[in-house]
A = this chain, B = another copy of it.
Amino acid sequence: MSETSERQRHEAIVEIRRLLAVEAGDEIVVLVDPLHASDLADVLETLEEDERLRLLELIPAAQASDALAEMEVDEHPAELLAQMEPGRIAELVEQLADDDAADLIGDLEPEDRERVLESVSDPDDIRELLEYPEDSAGGIMTRELVSVRSNANASQAIAEIREHASDRGDFYTVFVTDEQSRLRGIVTLRDLILASPSAELSELWNDPVAVVPVNMDQEEVGRILSKYNLASIGVVSADGRLVGRITFDDVIDVVEAESTEDILRFASVSDEEELRGTTMGAIRSRLPWLAVNTLTLSAAAMVVWAYRDTIEQLAILAAVMPVIAGLGGNAGTQALAVTIRRIATAEETADERWSAVGKELVVGVVNGLVIGLLVAMIAVLLPDTEPLFGAVVMVAMWANLIVASTLGAFFPIVLERFGIDPAAASSVFVTTFTDLFGFLLLLGLATKFLL
């Protein structure tokens, strides 16, 4: 339970620090032994870099490698691995599942990567996994799966599993293959246990909805596994051979990572920024967006500059400007967020998707009318204003909210059609456009009717 493990972790950290300082290796091994790999990973993340390395050298290889695999990518477990001596690297990598090994090694700089791979006695499996794009089915799958012959019956299959799968980590599904490694069907452990021992596997296996091609995008893999509530999904090569499997825990990680990516892109943060990364990384990831935004906002500034005579005569317009721009930005951001999330989570036809634009248009018309009236009312209550001023503000506000709302739905849908991540329709573009449009309308109308 989380509070217990929180307290355990804190106590463990204080004690481990003390023991590391006095170099009491044996006591550390005893202390760390009962910790779950994920809790040990938390402990490691809290220690200083040199303490991390010393702890990982001291404890058994199996425990050290499990903890490395469970550390957050932001904490750079791969770099810890690369700092160890070749013998220890080989020990740890051989204890890892192949996908965890490939993930760690894939995070290294090319020269470190080669050095680590040379320490490992049998690096071919890892090399093969490293060749798949990181965000494809091949990039997140493990090659370590449990398969049985298609002509076995249930009790033969269980015997085969007992013989060959005892070194496999958690598995939930048995893949049934023919002599050419082609996937014939998938049997869940539940069905295998419940089946009569003499039942043929061919009676038990399911229609393989649970199969994806090795080059499928990881987001799509996640959608399929989640849609069909599968604990495990098979990965096949172009010629139909079963090459790996992906389990629900990989998919939970993918769903979380994609959500983080979406919200960061939406807020104009480059998706390379790590949530707990360095200050320098944050500066580098955000500055280009701010620079782009400076240029886009300069366009809005030019509109205002063009109407400087109007503003000199009617300075109250400068007070209304931030209200028009702010509310346009807000309404556009609302429509954007809903549309981006809709595209990310729902399976829809193009028609269904385009209907979102019509809906947002109506939302803009209604909300724009209400907010336009509200803003106009406030404006007219100010001293020295006339009803016509209220009317100009009202029209500018209303039109701006209609445009903002419609654009907020239109923009991500168009990007998606062109194969660009719709979340790249960051709010910056929509807010800049509504600034520009809102100012043009407000100042244009004011110049025509109020001077």
Q: A residues within 8 Å of B by Cβ?
A: 1-2, 5, 34, 36, 38, 42, 46, 72, 74, 158, 161-162, 165-166, 168, 170-172, 188-190, 192-194, 207, 209, 211-213, 220, 222-229, 231, 248-249, 251-253, 255-256, 259-260, 262-264, 266-269, 273, 275-276, 279, 282-283, 286-287, 289-291, 293-294, 297-298, 300-302, 304-305, 308-309, 311-313, 315-323, 325-327, 329-331, 333-334, 336-338, 340-342, 345-349, 352, 359-360, 362-363, 366-367, 370-371, 374-375, 378, 382, 401, 427-428, 431-432, 435, 439
Measured between alpha carbons, how far is A192 from B360 in the docked complex, in Å?
Answer: 54
Q: Check if B327 sits within 8 Å of A316, measured CB to CB.
A: no
**In whole Å, how far is A332's beta carbon from the nearest beta carbon of chain B?**
9
Q: What residues of chain B lie closer than 8 Å to A366, measured between beta carbons?
A: 283, 287
Q: Check if A263 sits within 8 Å of B363, measured CB to CB.
A: no
Q: What residues of chain B lie closer than 8 Å to A231, measured between beta carbons?
A: 170, 172, 231, 248
Residue of chain B at shortest CB distance from A345:
B256
Q: Check if B308 sits within 8 Å of A346, measured CB to CB.
A: no
Q: Check if B188 sits within 8 Å of A170, measured CB to CB.
A: yes
Measured between alpha carbons, how far is A72 from B348 in the docked complex, in Å?
Answer: 12
Neighbour of A194 across the interface among B162, B287, B342, B349, CB < 8 A: B162
Q: What residues of chain B lie closer than 8 Å to A293, measured between beta carbons?
A: 326-327, 330
Pick from A252, A297, A326, A432 the residue with the most CB of B within 10 Å: A326
Q: Check if B283 sits within 8 Å of A300, measured CB to CB.
A: no
Q: Check if B308 sits within 8 Å of A319, measured CB to CB.
A: yes
Residue of chain B at shortest CB distance from A10:
B349
Q: Check if B275 sits within 8 Å of A341, measured CB to CB.
A: yes
With A319-B305, A374-B291 as known contacts, state yes or no: A275 contacts B347, CB within 8 Å.
no
Neighbour of A294 across the interface among B172, B211, B256, B327, CB < 8 A: B327
Tell me how many chains of this kind the complex includes.
2
Q: 8 shortest A-B CB distances, which residue pairs?
A: A267-B337, A259-B259, A308-B315, A304-B319, A189-B189, A248-B248, A229-B249, A318-B318
Q: Check if A371 sits within 8 Å of B294, measured CB to CB.
A: yes
Measured between alpha carbons, how far is A382 from B308 in the docked complex, in Å?
Answer: 13
Q: Check if B321 sits within 8 Å of A264, measured CB to CB.
A: no
Pick from A228, A319, A347, A367 the residue with the most CB of B within 10 Å: A319
Between A and B, 18 residue pairs with Cβ closer than 8 Å are A1-B209, A158-B193, A172-B172, A255-B255, A259-B341, A260-B345, A266-B337, A268-B334, A275-B345, A283-B362, A289-B334, A290-B327, A290-B367, A291-B371, A294-B374, A300-B322, A305-B319, A309-B315
Residue of chain B at shortest CB distance from A75:
B346
With A189-B190, A333-B427 as known contacts, state yes or no: A315 contacts B312, CB within 8 Å.
yes
Measured between alpha carbons, how far is A273 from B337 in the docked complex, in Å?
Answer: 11
Neighbour of A256 across the interface among B255, B269, B275, CB < 8 A: B255
Q: What residues of chain B lie closer than 8 Å to A435, measured between beta carbons?
A: 322, 326
Q: What residues of chain B lie closer than 8 Å to A363, measured between beta carbons?
A: 279, 282-283, 286
Neighbour of A346 across the interface among B212, B276, B305, CB < 8 A: B276
Q: What residues of chain B lie closer than 8 Å to A282, measured between beta carbons?
A: 338, 359-360, 363
Q: What residues of chain B lie closer than 8 Å to A401, measured between beta carbons?
A: 290
Q: What residues of chain B lie closer than 8 Å to A166, measured between beta carbons?
A: 194
Q: What residues of chain B lie closer than 8 Å to A427, measured between beta carbons?
A: 267, 333, 427
Q: Check if B263 sits within 8 Å of A252, measured CB to CB.
A: no
Neighbour of A283 across the interface among B162, B212, B367, CB < 8 A: B367
